[in-house]
Chains A and B, each alone.
Chain A
Amino acid sequence: MQCQICSKKTATIHLTEITNGVRTEFHFCEQCAVQQGIAAKSQISVNELLGNLLASQPTDDELTGLTESETTCPQCGFQLSQFRKEGVLGCPNDYVLFEKALLPLIEQAHNGKTRHCGKVPARVPQDVKNQIARANLKEQLKSAVKLEDYERAAQLRDKLKQMATGKKPSVS
């Protein structure tokens, strides 16, 4: 397709305008588009792009907190710099010790979620089990609403209410 202005070069910029419900299409070559003030600059260098991206990223210290990046786990000798290399933590205690640095990463990996809801080992104390059971019901309620299963959603809402008031949920 040729440029509508110079009628010489190939049109690479295509503009669609809709005014009062009337659709109009324009096809320009890059040079004519610049002259029309439509495409001021069509190409950005890779370095420019990377520079902009890096500038918008937090630095290592901002990301991890200076103190955490220097901390060594007393239980396993793990440091955060090793996580960046290996992608795994050293021991369960690292989740507590490096929580500030890990939380954004956990949030990102799990679609914004930061609290467990699901299976609980039998030996876990009852109050922790109840707490997770509430989170579980809330999550199931969300899922039922998403699947438009409103009957199930109502049942789950009732169960949640019963749990909040401390009443034993009825068997359904």
Chain B
Amino acid sequence: MKLTDFSKDINEWLSGSGPMSDIVISSRIRLARNLAGHSFVSRCSVEEKTEILSQLKETLMSIDLGDKLIYVSVDETSDLSRDFLVERHLISRHHAMGKGPRGAVIACREFFTGMINEEDHLRIQVLKPGCQLSECAKLINRIDDEIESKVEYAFCSQYGYLTACPTNLGSGIRTSVMLHLPALKMTGHIDKFLAAAKDLNLAVRGLFGEGTEAVSDLYQVSNQVTLGVSEASIIDDFEKRVIPEIVDYEISARKTLLGDQVNTLDDKISRAMALLQNAHLISSQEALFLLSHLRLGINMQKYLGASTPAIDKLTALFKIEAPEDRDVSITKINRLFMLTLPAHLQINHGKSLDPSNRDALRAKIIRSALGQN
């Protein structure tokens, strides 16, 4: 299996399915682990990194996940392939930009990745669509147990799993959900959400994680505290408190838009439709931003029964007649989200493109998907 086999479609976590998927796009859990008896990655020699890579690659490739596993040698692959893996959330930007021998073991359905020699020797992640943190936790725990039966992790009773950065100490768990919060942005309540998240010791990042701005109204919310709190308690808190509160907040903002701010809503959706149907040059950031408004319109029709002049035009544009057509439309928008990202565009085009040619190709793909020439 080659990377180009992935590139023509979206991955499972962006399929638009799963519980609360109108707002919770995906759930992800990652664990940071290091091998006992070795220095952390930044102090390892090339030989030591090669030894760790070989040991962990063999261990990960032998796990039975009910799916085919592929190995990508991250240091030997092209810059474009690395960017492609980052866009699909299969490796982190840190891993893509790292140095020395490093790799990734990826499940073909893309719900699992094991990054070897990232900031820590091993970072495993499980990704699922919608709100499915408990399911992610169950699977990642099983994978972790299986790995641990074959290698010895660096662990101490006081600090738990020892990680290169003290901020990951303890359970080494990062639980995150990707949320689509366009109504909070439109109604001017996003700052309140950000402040509340900070008070709850949660980190809020953009679409591509650490150091990225929130584009397309997509926010990744994750736990920051990993020491002195059990994995179960973090997940419980997310599922029973954090996610329902944010989802309720977004739904109430959507209702506000349908009440006394309907002109704001219709203006955003209409402008997004007009630009996406007619633009001949469109940047990745602008496309994500505008597609977000189409996604909002369709989900408001689906979940809130919304009917406004702009939403009605939108449903006509996507030829939504039966309820299942709405899911098809969301998948279509999600596909545009991913397939128009810079590395995806270039891999599917078969060669690298400069930014202005990318913008032209992106605009053409979107126009064509929306039935324009």
Complex Cα distance, B152 from A124, in Å, reads 10
Q: Do A118 and B171 touch across chains, with their CB atoms under 8 A apart? A: yes
Q: Is A61 an interface residue (CB 8 A)?
A: no
Contact in complex: A116, B43 (CB < 8 Å): no
- Asked if B155 CB lies within 8 Å of chain A CBs, one says yes
Q: B316 an interface residue at 8 Å Cβ cutoff?
A: no
CB <8 Å contact, A121 and B159 = no
Interface flags for A96-118 (1: CB within 8 Å of B; 0: not) read 00000010011001111111111
A76 to B42, CA, bound (A): 10
B227 in contact with A113 (CB, 8 Å): yes
Most buried by A among B39, B145, B236: B39
B158 lies within 8 A of A91 (CB): no
Given contacts A89-B40, A92-B34, A116-B171, contact A102 B230 (CB under 8 A): no
Q: Give A127 Cβ to nearest chain B Cβ, in Å.
A: 9
Tell me the bound Cα distance from A132 to B171 in angstroms: 12
Asked if B229 is an interface residue, CB under 8 A from chain A, the answer is yes
**Chain A residues, Cβ within 8 Å of B159:** 95, 106, 115-116
Docked Cα-Cα span, A115 to B160, in Å, equals 8
Q: Is the CB of A111 within 8 A of B201?
A: yes
CB <8 Å contact, A113 and B165 = no
Chain B residue contacts of A132, Cβ below 8 A: 157
- Determine if A140 and B162 form an interchain contact, defined as CB atoms under 8 angstroms apart: no
The interface of chain A, by Cβ under 8 A from chain B, is 75-78, 86-92, 95, 102, 105-106, 109-124, 128, 131-132, 135-136, 139-140, 143, 147
Known: A88-B42, A113-B227, A117-B170. 15 other contacts (CB 8 A): A75-B39, A106-B159, A111-B201, A115-B158, A115-B228, A116-B158, A116-B170, A119-B144, A121-B148, A123-B148, A124-B157, A136-B230, A139-B229, A140-B230, A140-B232
Chain B interface (Cβ < 8 Å from any Cβ of A): 34, 36, 38-40, 42-43, 119, 141, 144-145, 148-149, 152-162, 164-167, 169-171, 173, 201, 224-233, 236-237, 240-241
